[in-house]
Structures are given as C-alpha cells and as structure tokens.
C-alpha cells in the first residue's frame, strides 16, 4: 500500500481486524520509510469477468459453460471429469491472476484448445470443429494438418 505521506510502497501491518460479517478487513499499517501510520480497508468482492462474444454481446464468465463444451468434445474419450474441471479452473484462475475482467469468447476458446491439444487430439479436433464452426471435411483436414505442424514445431523446440 502506498504511504499517504511519503508515497513509499513498503509498509508493515501492525494490526488486522475483520468486520462482523467478515467481508471487510481493516488493517493498521506503518510505513517502513517514514513511520507514518495509516489504515486500509479491504473489501472482499466477487470477481466478475465479462465475456465478449463474437457478435459483440456480453455475458458473465461461466465456468460451467466451458466444462460443458469440453465434456461434449471429449465424450467417450479418456478424459476424466476432474481433468475437464481442472482446465476450466486453470482458465478462471489465469483470468483472475492477470486481472483480466474482460475477455473475448475467442480467447477462452484458444485457451481451451491449447490445453486440450496436449491432453487428447481427438477431443481437441472436436472442440475446434464446434468452436470454429466447421462446415465440411476440408476444415477438419486443415485443422489436423495444422495440429501435426504445431506438434513438429513443439518437438523441434525441445531438441
Ligand atoms: Zn511513509
């Protein structure tokens, strides 16, 4: 926290108290540079991430939707429910950690793709086909070619 007096970012917490409902934390701080004491209030807020869809409409981030999408793509494939949830959790955590409160559905799609690609190529291709709205078999062929190419590149980087 920035010291209101000298602007230093280094301080120590002398005392922390929670509000009765536990939603606000009051902290007494002391600036390590000038010794000034000040109080901060931290509010616990639900992070609301907004997803911008292709047609520019927005909707709140919904982890269950990601889970449903992956589940559908991985039907009958050796991917566990836990692995599916892990992907969705990882994406949510990444967005929160990065402070990304607005994200496009395409970005989310790309994140799922990159995780699925390593997990199971068949589920990956199925997911891509829905995500990118494949129209015919040629779309599948080019996606598979691209995947093989990426694979070679990945291996190339490791060597
Ligand atoms: Zn200070």
Over residues 42-73, the pLDDT tens digits come to 876 666 789 999 898 999 899 999 999 999 99
Q: Please report the pLDDT score of residue 119 as a whole number.
A: 93
**CA 151 / ligand 1 centre spacing (Å):** 53
Is the same domain home to 73 and 17?
no
Number of separate domains in the chain:
2
**CA 149 / ligand 1 centre spacing (Å):** 56
2 found inside a domain: no
CA angle 154, 156, 159 (to 5 degrees): 115
39 found inside a domain: yes
Is the same domain home to 83 and 107?
yes
Tell me if 64 sits within 8 A of 51, measured CB to CB. no
Domain span holding position 111? 50-149
Is the same domain home to 17 and 69?
no
Is the same domain home to 62 and 134?
yes
Ion ligand 1 residue ranges (Cβ < 5 Å)? 3, 5-6, 8, 31, 33-34, 36
Is the same domain home to 68 and 145?
yes
């Amino acid at each position: 926290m920035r010291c209101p007096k000298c602007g230093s970012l280094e301080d120590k917490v002398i005392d922390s108290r929670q509000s009765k409902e536990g939603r606000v934390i009051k902290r007494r701080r002391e600036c390590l540079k000038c010794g000034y004491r000040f109080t901060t209030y931290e509010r616990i807020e639900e992070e609301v991430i907004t997803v911008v869809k292709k047609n520019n409409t927005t909707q709140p981030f919904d982890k269950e939707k990601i889970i449903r999408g992956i589940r559908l793509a991985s039907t009958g494939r050796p991917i566990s429910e836990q692995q599916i949830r892990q992907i969705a959790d990882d994406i949510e955590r990444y967005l929160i950690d990065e402070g990304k409160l607005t994200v496009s559905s395409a970005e989310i799609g790309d994140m799922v793709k990159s995780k699925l690609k390593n997990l199971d190529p068949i589920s990956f291709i199925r997911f891509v086909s829905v995500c990118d709205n494949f129209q015919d078999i040629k779309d599948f062929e080019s996606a598979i070619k691209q995947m093989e190419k990426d694979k070679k590149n990945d291996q190339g980087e490791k060597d």
